[in-house]
Structure 1
Amino acid sequence: MLVNRILTFFLLLSLGKCDNIVQIDCNTLRLGQYMCPDPNYDLVDPKTQQIRGCGKDNRAKVQCIAIEEINCTESNNSTFFKEMPCKWTNGYHLDTALLLSIFLGMFGLDRFYLGYPAIGLAKLCTLGFMFLGQLIDIILISTQVVGPADGSAYITPYYGPTVEVIRFDNSTFRLKQDDW
C-alpha cells in the first residue's frame, strides 16, 4: 500500500502533475530515498573512533535526510534518525595489544591486557609456551581473531584496518549449488 502510494507520487511528479509533499514514516524508506551523511569529525568520537552513541548492541543513531519531496511524520520535515551499525569499543587498542604481543608476549602481558589472566599466567610460567604461543598470539591478534575478553572491538582509526570475522557454525550452512 505504502509502496504503491510512493510510486504513484513519483510517477505523477515525473509527469509534472503533482506539486505537494508526501508525509510518510521515514523508517520505511528504501535506500536511495534518503541520505545519511558520511561521519565527519563531529559524529566520530575521538576516543573510540566510532560513531558517537555506539552501544553494546553495535548500533548508533545517525541523523539522515529524506529526498526533497518527502516529509517525515515523526519530525514534520525531511530529517529523521536511523540506526546505523558500529563497533562497540571498551578502550582496548589494537596497536597496544600487538606491540605487547611482539615484545612481551613471552611473559603473557598481551593476554593480561586483553583480559585473559589464565592464559597470561600459563604463558608467563612457560615462557610463552616456548615462544610458540607467542608467535601464534602475534598472528591471532594481528588478524583480530583474538579480541578483548569483554566482547568489545579494538580501537582502530575509523577508516583504518578492520577485519570482519565470519564464523561458521550449526546455524550457518552452505546451500547446494547446481554446478557442484
Structure 2
Amino acid sequence: MALPRERRPLWLLVVSLCPCFLNIVSADVEKCEELRLGQYICETPKISDITQEPENCTNNTAFVPCMPAPNITCRNYSGMMNTFSGKEVGFFKPFSCRNVTGYSYKVAVALSLFLGWLGADRFYLGYPALGLLKFCTVGFCGIGSLIDFVLISVQIVGPADGSNYIIDYYGARLTRLSINNDTYRKRQTDM
C-alpha cells in the first residue's frame, strides 16, 4: 500500500533524520573525570596531624573521592556506565601535595633565631659541616646567623634531604615560581 502524496515528504524527512537520532542516542557517555564544575562534588582530604599533608600523599600527588550530582550518567573510575544518586563515588580527583619527612618550619626558625650563632639550625636541617663552621666562627661573627635566619624564614634554605618543611596545612606556604625557555613572556608596551 502506497502512502498518500501529502505524507511522503514527511516520511522521507523522518527516515533521513533517523540516523542522526541514532548517533545521538548511541554516543559514548563521557567519563566522570570529564564532568564540568558543578556536576560533581569532592570530599575534603583527610589531613595528617603529624605531617600536615593529605594522608594518602605519594609522589607529590593525593587523590580525593568525587561524587557526581544526582541523575548524572557517566562512566565511573572502573569504566562502568552508571546513573548516580549523588552518594556514590564516580572518580578520584588528583591534586598536588608536598613531600615532608619530619623537619618542622617552626623549629627551624626558632633554632635559627635563638641558637643560630651556634649552628643549631644547620645541624637540625642536616647540614653538619655548615653547622660546625658556624659553631667554630660563632655564627660568622653574627652576620652569617642573620643571613641564615632570613634564608630559613623565607624558605629558601630547607632540609638537606630535599623534602619540604612541615607547615600547617592552612599556614603560610611559599610557592616557588621559575622561568625557563618554555615560559611565555608577554612584552610590555611602551606608554
TM over 0.5: yes
Q: Structure 1 vs Structure 2: percent identity of aligned residues?
A: 46
Give the alignment's TM-score, normalised by structure 2. Answer: 0.71
Where do 5+ consecutive residues of structure 1 fail to align? Answer: 1-21
Aligned length: 155
Give 2:157's aligned residue. 146
What do residues 91-125 of structure 1 show as CA deviations (whole Å, max 9, x unaligned)?
A: 11011101110111111111111111222122112
Give the alignment's TM-score, normalised by structure 1. Answer: 0.75
Q: Is the 1:145–1:165 contact (alpha carbons within 8 Å) kept by the matching residues of 2?
A: no
Q: Is the 1:97–1:113 contact (alpha carbons within 8 Å) kept by the matching residues of 2?
A: yes
Give 2:67's aligned residue. 65
In structure 1, give the amino acid aligned to 2:123: F
Q: Post-superposition shift, 1:179?
A: 4.3
SS of match in other structure, 2:176: coil
Q: Please give the alpha-carbon distance, in whole angstroms, between the structure 2 residues aligned to 1:138 and 1:29.
A: 47
Q: CA RMSD of the aligned region, Å?
A: 2.3
Q: Post-superposition shift, 1:152?
A: 1.4
Where do 5+ consecutive residues of structure 2 fail to align? Answer: 1-27
Give 1:28's aligned residue. 34
SS of match in other structure, 2:110: helix
SS of match in other structure, 2:173: coil
Give 1:15's aligned residue. none
Residue 92 (1) aligns with residue 103 (2): yes
Q: Please give the alpha-carbon distance, in whole angstroms, between the structure 2 residues aligned to 1:119 and 1:93.
A: 19
Give 2:23's aligned residue. none
SS of match in other structure, 1:46: coil
1:28-177 aligned within 5 A: 28-39=34-45, 43-55=46-58, 57-68=59-70, 69-75=72-78, 76=82, 77=84, 78-79=88-89, 80-169=91-180, 172=183, 174-177=185-188
Q: Post-superposition shift, 1:175?
A: 3.2
In structure 1, give the amino acid aligned to 2:67: I
Q: Is the 2:53–2:98 contact (alpha carbons within 8 Å) kept by the matching residues of 1?
A: yes
Larger radius of gyration: 2
Check 1:124–1:173 CA distance in 2 against 1; reply closer, same or farther (3 A cut): farther
Q: Please give the alpha-carbon distance, in whole angstroms, between the structure 1 residues aligned to 2:139 and 2:181.
A: 33
Q: Post-superposition shift, 1:171?
A: 5.5
Q: Please give the alpha-carbon distance, in whole angstroms, between the structure 2 residues aligned to 1:121 and 1:91.
A: 22
SS of match in other structure, 2:150: helix
Q: Please give the alpha-carbon distance, in whole angstroms, between the structure 2 residues aligned to 1:178 and 1:29.
A: 39
Q: Please give the alpha-carbon distance, in whole angstroms, between the structure 2 residues aligned to 1:172 and 1:124.
A: 42
